[in-house]
Chains A and B, each alone.
Chain A
Amino acid sequence: MTSSPFSFSLDRRHFLAGAASLAALSAGFITNASAQSTDTPKKGGVLKLGIGGGSTTDNLDPRILKDWVPVNQAFMIMNGLVEIDANNHAVPELFESWEAQPGAVEWVFKLRQGVTFHNGKNLTVEDVIYSINLHRGETTSAARSVASALKSVDKLSDTEVKIVLESGNADLPYILSDYHFLVVPEGWTDFNKPVGTGPFVFESYDPGVRSRFTRNPNYWKPNAAHVDAVEVIVINDISARTNAMMSGQVHAINQLDFKTVDLLRRNPNLNIVQSAGGQHFTFLMDCTQAPYTDNNIRLAIKHAIDREQLLKTALRGYGRLGNDHPIPSSDRFYAADLPQRPYDPEKAKFYLKQAGLDALKIEISASDAAFSGAVDAAAIFRTSAAKGGIDVSIKREPADGYWDNVWMKAPFCMSYWGGRPTADQMLTIAYQSTSAQNDTHWKNETFDKKLIEARALLDDAKRKEIYAELQSLISNEGGAMIPMFGDYLDATSKKLKGVTTHPMFNFMGARLAEKVWLDA
């Protein structure tokens, strides 16, 4: 019990000081993209997962997947077309290989052979086309806008699908890794009880409460689906989730609270999984509303925030510094050469002077609806901005209706973005001037032009160059101040082996259940 989370005599400072010597008695950290190579997978056992982000109104229809519980459950039953691996590369899943014609408009995907659905049916090209078409045309699919890039999806042969795009996009395999593109048999409509080719077979499912799926004995993936069954218990309340982990009732929980990670760290039976990814927190300036129409003002504000302190306070250090553009360091096109913008009150004053001002009074709209801790983050910004001659007042907005009434409407407000699989998607959705979600209302013709140019390039070196340019453009001229990226945090039992980090989402890109095994 010496390292229990509630031995009050051991405060955090002492704990950290003695952490090295106590290493054997405290939680482990998983920050690697590859599992320990010495472990060999074991079969058997019932995996219990405590997942937050589910509701009584969920179902497993690939068209409406939205929150973490159904997404994880869907990946237990069904497979995707393309998978994003732990190193952020697109790797084959049901599509075995692919090839693009020059210009990246026409693509041919080869279908994996010898795969069967849980009902015994063989996987065919028709099933894949039906599954993709669920998201195309007149549909309620959440992936409809993503799928609108596909001009046609046709059968080329019994093993090949030809996809033609509206315009060239070298990232098509990444786009098809979207978690909505799951494969069901042709004509399947009963999404309360879906059939897939996935690692587990449907047994029982009570939306928003729990589910139990058993191992698919005929699973096609080698070295996967190790446990006999997987039970999902929906635990939306973060403290209930943490308690379930602490008392050993579940083997893993997702989405830890940044504020309590340090408490969990003291539990010797746990590993903390810390994955760097694309989710980032933004301070949005509307480039069409005064005073943010002037780039000098925007630059003054970008220099007036103490990023280090914000990261330390709001995220307890579980994140990375942001450089006022949305591309994370885990992305292959990350502009590593762009110098990190420092906290520089003098520079902020300089830019104010450039704008013809001695001091600036602004108001920021904040609510924890933007992200947990957003109001605190605004307060930290207020303190650090004062030294740069910027007087910030915080307008607390109700969490209800924040996305309808404040986001994209207030001149200066707080928000966040989840990660996207590719730099192109992230830049397109939030910064292309024609995007409906261009939440800084920024318009830059060079940016728009180069974005489309880079999209169709199959030469990665050339693309990297252009994307570096685009990141620098957003950083120096855009309307978003992006001070930090937050890591994805999960906790897993030390009995659970095979756990790795993943750049997309919690729980190994929502595919944890098929990859891990229980060590007695």
Chain B
Amino acid sequence: MTTLILKRVALGILTLLLVSALIFAGTQLLPGDVASAILGQNATPESLAVLRADLGLDQPLLHRYFSWLGGFVTGDLGNSLANHQPVADLLWPRFWNTMALALYAAVVSVPVAVTLGLFSAILRGSLFDRAVNIVALAFVSLPEYFLGLLLILFVSVQYNLLPSLADTYPGMGFADWLKATTLPALTLVLVTVAQMLRMTRTAVLAVMDQAYVETAYLKGLRTRRAVLRHALPNAAAPIVNVVSFNVAYLITGVVLVEAVFNYNGLGRFMVDAVSKRDLPLVQAAALVFGAAYVILNIIADISAIALNPRLRHPR
């Protein structure tokens, strides 16, 4: 099992390296060079040369890539081009904001989705099953920004229950924070619940159709015990997989939701950086997103291994 896990981690690191190369290459592919993009119409040959040297653009490509990557690994994300502040100071507070929102959404959506999925598997074909599935499908079919706007329309503007702005600031009370972030979290919950719910239902159903579950019923077990004790553990791997996939989405897919609710997270930060052509910010944000995605996938893989006896005890 250890070798398997080590293999996964190594693969993850390799993926991250590839992602970093892609991000770096992407920003190099921009038309013209970065220095002339920054100076625009004010560019004179002298000012271009000075800025190029400042940014280290006169170094060979590979050298720049490795010094950037080396800096990233050691926690030095470089400085913003626009105001020369360290990228790390700007990035991490917003990263934790995004994580907080993702955590809030995950704490709600994962239990809800798994519970609803279980019940709709147990009550397969019932009115409950169908209703839950139709509603979930309806929500997953709407783009998240549209869903966010609908929620604002009814919850904020029409009935004024919750604020439409996720206006958070350091030092605000937890209750205030919850109130401010409930609408964006709810949007994310609605978008992610459907997939997890349906995967749970399918996975549990697939197991329940197997002979040993039938045996469990035949020896007189109640449904509850048959599902929880016998079916669910064997269906756990695909469920964990889809859950971690969705949690990764909660972190990386929030750009639009953050824009709609004006939430001060990494997604909005990245949009801001792109519009200002502040490349060190864009690169750092992209790599952080990539890392979050890869790490969550590794966790999913490892959990799947841990939950699968055949992988846990390979012959």
- A: residues with CB less than 8 A from B are 1, 4-6, 50, 55-59, 204, 206-210, 233-237, 239-241, 243-244, 246-250, 401, 403-404
- A247 engages B276 (CB within 8 Å): no
What's the Cα separation between A243 and B261 when bound, in Å?
9
With CB as the reference atom, state the residue of chain A lying closest to B154.
Answer: A6
Which residue of B85, B90, B262 contacts A233 across the interface (Cβ within 8 Å)? B262
Which residue of B41, B160, B165, B272 contacts A235 across the interface (Cβ within 8 Å)? B165
- B167 engages A210 (CB within 8 Å): yes
What's the Cα separation between A85 and B85 when bound, in Å?
37
- B264 engages A6 (CB within 8 Å): no
Type the 1/0 row for B122-154, where 1 means its CB is closer than 8 Å to any CB of A: 000000000000000000000000000100110
Which chain B residues (146-184) contact chain A, with CB distance < 8 Å?
149, 152-153, 156-158, 160, 163-165, 167, 169
Which residue of B83, B153, B163, B281 contacts A249 across the interface (Cβ within 8 Å)? B163
What's the Cα separation between A240 and B256 when bound, in Å?
11
- A240 engages B259 (CB within 8 Å): yes
Type the 1/0 row for B271-303, where 1 means its CB is closer than 8 Å to any CB of A: 011011010010000000000000000000000
- B158 engages A57 (CB within 8 Å): no
Known contacts A235-B262, A236-B272, A247-B163: A404-B40 contact under CB 8 Å = yes
A-B CB proximity, top 10 nearest:
A57-B82, A247-B156, A243-B164, A57-B83, A240-B262, A247-B164, A246-B157, A244-B165, A235-B262, A243-B152
With CB as the reference atom, state the residue of chain B lying closest to A234.
Answer: B262
Known contacts A247-B156, A247-B157, A404-B40: A233-B260 contact under CB 8 Å = no
- Residues of A near B24 (CB, < 8 A) are none
For residue B75, CB closer than 8 A to chain A, the reply is no
Known contacts A56-B90, A210-B169, A233-B167: A244-B40 contact under CB 8 Å = no
- Residues of B near A55 (CB, < 8 A) are 82, 272, 275-276
- Residues of B near A6 (CB, < 8 A) are 153, 157-158
- Ordered by A's residue number, 11 sampled pairs between the chains whose C-beta atoms are within 8 Å are A6-B157, A50-B165, A55-B82, A57-B278, A237-B259, A240-B261, A243-B149, A247-B152, A248-B160, A250-B165, A403-B41
What's the Cα separation between A237 and B275 when bound, in Å?
13
What's the Cα separation between A244 and B158 when bound, in Å?
12
Most buried by B among A4, A204, A206, A246: A246
- B153 engages A239 (CB within 8 Å): no
- B264 engages A209 (CB within 8 Å): yes
- Residues of B near A50 (CB, < 8 A) are 165
- Residues of B near A208 (CB, < 8 A) are 272
- Residues of A near B164 (CB, < 8 A) are 240, 243-244, 246-247, 249
With CB as the reference atom, state the residue of chain A lying closest to B261.
Answer: A240
Q: A152 to nearest B CB, angstroms?
A: 27
Q: B135 to nearest A CB, angstroms?
A: 22
- Residues of A near B41 (CB, < 8 A) are 403-404
With CB as the reference atom, state the residue of chain A lying closest to B81.
Answer: A57
Please, how many residues of chain B have a CB less than 8 angstroms from a CB on the other chain?
32
Q: B42 to nearest A CB, angstroms?
A: 10
Q: B138 to nearest A CB, angstroms?
A: 20
- A5 engages B264 (CB within 8 Å): no
- B259 engages A206 (CB within 8 Å): no
- Residues of A near B163 (CB, < 8 A) are 247, 249
Which residue of B165, B260, B272 contacts A56 across the interface (Cβ within 8 Å)? B272
What's the Cα separation between A191 and B57 when bound, in Å?
29
What's the Cα separation between A56 and B167 when bound, in Å?
16
What's the Cα separation between A243 and B153 when bound, in Å?
8
- Residues of A near B157 (CB, < 8 A) are 4-6, 243, 246-247
With CB as the reference atom, state the residue of chain B lying closest to A236.
Answer: B272
- A243 engages B156 (CB within 8 Å): yes
- B40 engages A403 (CB within 8 Å): yes
- B259 engages A1 (CB within 8 Å): no
- Residues of B near A1 (CB, < 8 A) are 158
Q: B166 to nearest A CB, angstroms?
A: 9
- A249 engages B264 (CB within 8 Å): no
- Residues of B near A57 (CB, < 8 A) are 80, 82-83, 85, 276, 278
With CB as the reference atom, state the residue of chain A lying closest to B83.
Answer: A57
- B158 engages A239 (CB within 8 Å): no
Known contacts A243-B157, A246-B157: A237-B169 contact under CB 8 Å = no
- A59 engages B83 (CB within 8 Å): yes
For residue B31, CB closer than 8 A to chain A, the reply is yes
- A237 engages B260 (CB within 8 Å): yes
What's the Cα separation between A337 and B273 when bound, in Å?
48
- Residues of A near B281 (CB, < 8 A) are 56
Known contacts A6-B153, A239-B149, A243-B152: A233-B82 contact under CB 8 Å = no
Q: B92 to nearest A CB, angstroms?
A: 13
What's the Cα separation between A419 and B269 when bound, in Å?
30
With CB as the reference atom, state the residue of chain B lying closest to A7.
Answer: B158
Which chain B residues (1-52) contact chain A, with CB distance < 8 Å?
31, 40-41
Known contacts A5-B157, A57-B278, A209-B264: A240-B272 contact under CB 8 Å = no
- Residues of A near B167 (CB, < 8 A) are 210, 233, 249
- B90 engages A247 (CB within 8 Å): no
With CB as the reference atom, state the residue of chain A lying closest to B278.
Answer: A57
Most buried by B among A206, A236, A240: A240
- Residues of B near A249 (CB, < 8 A) are 163-165, 167
- Residues of A near B169 (CB, < 8 A) are 204, 206, 209-210
Q: A1 to nearest B CB, angstroms?
A: 7
- Residues of B near A239 (CB, < 8 A) are 149, 260
Q: A252 to nearest B CB, angstroms?
A: 14
Which residue of A206, A236, A240 contacts B165 across the interface (Cβ within 8 Å)? A240
Q: B38 to nearest A CB, angstroms?
A: 11
Q: A363 to nearest B CB, angstroms?
A: 22
With CB as the reference atom, state the residue of chain B lying closest to A54.
Answer: B272
- Residues of B near A233 (CB, < 8 A) are 165, 167, 262
Q: A456 to nearest B CB, angstroms?
A: 30
With CB as the reference atom, state the residue of chain A lying closest to B271.
Answer: A236
- Residues of A near B31 (CB, < 8 A) are 401
Type the 1/0 row for B65-86, where 1 means its CB is closer than 8 Å to any CB of A: 0000000000000001011010
Most buried by A among B80, B164, B259, B278: B164
Q: A463 to nearest B CB, angstroms?
A: 32
